[in-house]
Each structure stands twice: as C-alpha cells, then as structure tokens.
A and B are shown apart, each in its own frame.
Chain A
C-alpha cells in the first residue's frame, strides 16, 4: 500500500509538479516513460515518489518514447490505469502508437508538455506537438497554468476511462512557461483526489483469463471504415457531454469551474482573440486593460477542449462579435494556422460571419508580449469598424526582420 502524502492547502508547484502530483494521486497501475525536455521533471518526480513509498504501481523506464506508448498500450489492454508524459520529438516518435492506442479504445492519459518540433532543434514551448496529435483520435485538454495542469490531468482519467468513452486523453500544458514556472496550486488531498478519479473500470481486460480477448486485429476495406466511423462518432457525440459532466463534478468538489470553451469578457465583446495555452492569460489581461483605457470591447475565447473540436461552443461564443483573431503557435508550413482553419470553418456557418484573421506567433518559445496582444486587438478594432480585413489575413507577429504576411 502506497503512503499518502500530506499536502498543504496551497502548494507552490510548477506545471510539471502539478501534473506529477495528479498522476501520483490517481494511483496508476503502470507508468511506462522516457524523459524528454521540458516534461522530464514529470518522469523524475514520479521516480522520486516511487523511491519514497508513495507509488505502489509499476514504473517501467523504457528505452524510447515509442516503447513508452507501446508499453502503455500493452498495459492498458491488460486492464488497469495507465499514464505517461512526453514532449515534442518524443511525442513525434510515439505518434504511430498514439493512433493504435485510440483505435483500440484504450484510456491512457498522456501529459504533453508542449514544445517545438525540430529542425532546427528547439527545447522551448510552442504548439507543434499538440497540433500533431489532432487527428490521432485522442481527447485533448488544454491547461493555461499550473493549477489547470493539475486539474486537467486529474479529470483526464475520469473522462477517458468512462466505459461510455474509452478513449485516451492528452493533458496539455505549455513547455517552460507553465511547466517550469512555480505558481500557487490548490491540490485535493490524496483521498479526495482518488475518490474523484475513482477505481479503474476495466473493460475487456486481457488479464481476465476466463474471457480471452483479441486486441489489434486486421481490418481491410470491409470493416476498417466502420471502426473509424464509430470512433469518430463517439468523439463527436459522447465526449462533450461527458466532459461537461466531469467539469461539473469537479466544480462541486473544488469550486473551480471549467468550460469546454472558456470565455472572458465576451458578453458584449466586439472583438476577440482565440488562443490556446498561456497566451490566453496574457490576452485576458490585455482585453481588460483595453476595455478600461481605450473603450475597446475586447474579449478572449479559449478552447479548453482542442479535440474533439467544440464546433457548436465556438459558434456560440463568437457569433456576435465583429472581428476575431486566431493565434497559432505552430508553423503552419504552407497553410493558414490550424486554429484559424478550425475557427473559420465553424464560423462559416454563422449568419453574421465575423471578420477572421490569423496570427502566427511564439514559435520555439519566442515571447508573446502584452504589446503584441494590444497590437492585435487594435487591428481587430479596425477590422470591426471597417467590416472587412484591414490587414493581411495571416501575419507573423514577434518575428525579426521585415514584416511577413500573406493574403
């Protein structure tokens, strides 16, 4: 029996420690992991918990991220709670197995500390890895700070493991800005946290020797489509309700309220920034400032759930604004940004379509500043006033050298 850890009402944790503590409290049966910056501390913290008697599950220190996810799939199919953590190149290396995990409907929790993808090699935070996962069939939850990294990681188990869902879940946080910044975090006690997550509800475990099961079959043109369609169907129809249900239960327990799409200052907003991760907090601050100082009716919209994509909630949040800026922290490499495309695709269904523009920012950990957010809001105000784009549709912000923009 693992020992319980006495926690303070308010702990000073960085995002990595917050996620590590959530993993510890979930009493995971198997963690198979391989360290990579900036998520390395998650693996190290877990090792330290184990060395001090706080873990009674298995901790398998594999030889690569591909093996980490492979071990997680084997363990999850055997029947028990499974999680791991990674970033960037590690995420890319395990990407083959990400599809296999979701295709086999195995509820694994993956803490992703977002980081840029090489080349050039870069250890800092952007959303390239997160975007890479968007077609993998996983549920993707996004945290904007350390407290949320703790909360999302804990909730990820309850969402993914629900017998109606049975899908793996990524709990995202921004590399370094969240993962290595110490903040105040209010954790649940070990007992409360485990009570919230609950016992692992095994479905078709390989270890049930009385009922042998076959995992990972071959299907060709006769059945493959139906399997993929069913998985997509469940992502589109079952996950939103379950996430809302778990968010509500979490609010009841902690008082902390989460939404599938977070809205800040949006009630009467004319202009809005849509963003992910820590940028949301910068944008919120600036929106508030511009409202006070310049009377710009600015707001911020932030998808808490990146997959499945909250199409309805995005429309609901943005249908009455005049101009929207979608901020993408990943090189689109020959297209509009992914967040832009998602948001624009949803808003195309609105009667009064807002003007939607795209900003590429913060690649490889480049700072996104208050000045950047102010500039964007001002351009949005001009777009709203003109009723059409007054800037190119896609602009790079914070880039050195001549201004880069398209369309």
Chain B
C-alpha cells in the first residue's frame, strides 16, 4: 500500500525531507523545481525516477554532482517513459522471483518519469503511448512550459497560438505560432488510462491530492503540469506564482482530471475569473498581440478559452 504524506499547509512541505535538492542549476523562478518537490513530497514511498533530456535533466545531474536522493536515470530525449517502464518491469520480475535487494523488504517503490513538453507532446509521444497501452504501473509527469526551453525557446506542439518563439517569431507579417496547443490530456485519456490530470504548482493542495490519487492508482497515470517559464514566457523570476495564478484563474490552464478514460471532474473553479487579456499581457511572449494589427487574436483567445471551459463543464455534467 502507498504511504502518503499528510500535507495540510505549506509548512508541511518545508519541514519534510527533500529528495530533490535545492542545489541544482535551474533558472531562478523556474516552476520545474516547485512541481518536482510537490510531487516527490506527496509520498513517503521510495521513488525510482527517470527524466527526459531537457531543462530538468541538464540542471540536476551534471557529473560529478546529482540533485537526486532517489535512484534516477536519464537515457535520451524521447524515452524517459520507456526507461521507467523497463525499471518497473525489472521490479515485477525480481519480485516474482524473490530476488529483490534486501532494502526493498516491506517497501513499494513508485516509478515516475519526468519530461518537458518537447519530450512529451513531440519527440517522445510514441514511447509514452506504448507505455500507456501496455499498462505499466507508472506515473508520467509532463513539465509543460509550452516551448523547447532547454535549447533556447523553439516552438513545440504545446506552444499556444500567438506566442512568439525563436522558430516562430512575431514579426512584421506574423503574429508568431500559428497552431493551437495540442490537447495532450484528452489523447492520454483516450488510451483508457485509469487516471490523467492537469495540475499547476500554485494550486498545491489540488496538486498533492491528484499526485496522491495517482500514486494510489494501479496502472499508468499521466500528469500534465503547467510550468511557467520565466526565461521563455518572459516575466520576472519572482512572478512565477503570480503568472501561474493568472493561468489558472483565467482558465487558460483549467485544472481537471479524467478517470478511466471518460469520467471528467473539474477540480478548481476560480471565484473571480480573470480576463485572458490579463494573462497574455503579463508575458513578453505575447507582447506583440497588443499591437493593433494582432489585437483581434486576444478576443479570439478569450472565445477559445470560454468555449473550452463550457465543454469541460458539459463533460463533467454528463459524466461521460
């Protein structure tokens, strides 16, 4: 059985032992480290972790140092999911044969893979799909900062429409990224996964609840974590939580979960809904949208977010 931590307030985080050290090379204000600490702190169970090539990986395991006080593996950009699935298969096999190390006695390790949106939405998509189809007992966490941040800010299929990136820059005749953000959560739910959820680091109670639910779930769990990127979204490093609040309160990043492929539940309803304009206006990557020739996109954004919120509510109501 899983051993969950009782986390009632933020102090409980600060007093619990860190399995992910503050000694890392992530940018000041990076949401990745907040999310990873929230996830690792949600359980007392031992953890076996993997990470895809990306910001989290290059900033936490630079030889001869490591920020991880759990076993951790990085293979490549696309295969963090399959790496942890392999470890999980080894655990099952050795357990069946009675050949686990003595330190596993009475413990039930959890297997978690981390990847950015590049590793998840794009290059590693096939590997994740394979792992979920096969039903490994694992959690896959996407640290979704909507851009290839590690390589300097190129667009990904998670980049939202209108964002200026170095490969889709806003210019005289372009408003930046032309494509809509891929709906990864629906795709993962369509695999029939027992549990998929969107989380955000600012809503830490919602986060802990979902992660603990995920750890208690048998089978593959997909978590899409919004990770505000101070460097590529272009906001001040001490505004990470404020930007995250704008994302969740404008419903640009709605928080919800889907169980067994269909049962959708909204887990956060903002008391005071913030206009999408406020979310966009707080970030340098959308600055150009406030020029007269592109301003129509802000209205379109608001319509898209409203339509999506309407859809999610109807899905929840219908419970299908």
Contact = CB atoms under 8 A, between A and B. Distances in A.
Interface residues of B, number: 48
B305 to A, nearest CB: 34
Contact of B93 (A58, A62, A210): A58
Given A63-B126, A218-B62, A77 B101 contact: no
Interface string A64-83: 10110011111111111010
A102 to B, nearest CB: 12
A208 B92 CA distance: 14
Interface string B284-320: 0000000000000000000000000000000000000
A207 B79 contact: no
B79 A215 contact: no
Nearest to B73: A215
B23 to A, nearest CB: 13
Given A29-B97, A74-B86, A78-B48, A216 B74 contact: yes
Given A57-B93, A206-B73, A215-B72, A75 B104 contact: no
Nearest to B65: A217
Interface string B246-260: 000000000000000
B39 interface: no
Contacts of B61: 214, 216-218
Interface string A81-110: 010000000000000110010000000000
Contact of B66 (A74, A202, A214): A214
Which 8 A-B pairs have CB atoms at the shortest separation, nearest pair first? Answer: A74-B86, A63-B130, A206-B71, A78-B90, A70-B79, A74-B83, A216-B74, A210-B103
Contacts of A207: 48, 71, 87, 90-91, 94, 100-101, 104, 109
Interface in A181-235: 202, 205-219, 223, 227
A205 B211 CA distance: 26
B63 A223 contact: yes
Contacts of B50: 74
Contact of B87 (A75, A208, A216): A75
Contact of B72 (A66, A214, A219): A214
Contacts of A70: 75-76, 79, 82-83, 86, 127
Nearest to B84: A74
A30 B89 CA distance: 7
Interface of B: 46, 48, 50, 57-58, 61-64, 66, 68-76, 78-79, 82-87, 89-94, 96-97, 99-101, 103-104, 107, 109, 126-127, 129-130, 133-134
Interface residues of A, number: 46
Given A61-B134, A207-B100, A71 B86 contact: yes
B82 A67 contact: yes
B19 to A, nearest CB: 9
15 contacts: A29-B90, A63-B126, A64-B130, A67-B127, A71-B86, A73-B83, A75-B87, A78-B86, A78-B90, A78-B91, A97-B76, A207-B100, A209-B46, A218-B58, A219-B62
A60 B90 CA distance: 10
Contact of B96 (A56, A61, A76, A210): A56
Contact of B101 (A96, A97, A205, A223): A205
B63 A217 contact: yes
B289 to A, nearest CB: 36
Contact of A62 (B68, B72, B82): B82
The interface centre, meaning the residue of A79, A214, A227 with most chain B CB atoms within 10 A of its CB, is A214
A339 interface: no
A217 B76 contact: no
A208 B94 CA distance: 12
B86 A30 contact: yes
Contacts of A215: 71-74
A100 B92 CA distance: 24
B89 A218 contact: no
A29 to B, nearest CB: 4
A136 to B, nearest CB: 14
B82 A71 contact: yes
A159 interface: no
Contacts of B93: 29-30, 56-58, 80
Contacts of A63: 126-127, 129-130, 133
B75 A73 contact: yes
Contacts of B103: 208-211
A71 B74 contact: no
B229 to A, nearest CB: 20
B85 A71 contact: yes
A32 interface: yes
B87 A100 contact: no
A18 to B, nearest CB: 24
B97 A56 contact: yes
B187 to A, nearest CB: 15
A77 B109 contact: no
A32 to B, nearest CB: 6
A77 B73 contact: yes
Given A62-B130, A67-B130, A212 B87 contact: no
A218 B57 CA distance: 8
A180 B177 CA distance: 53
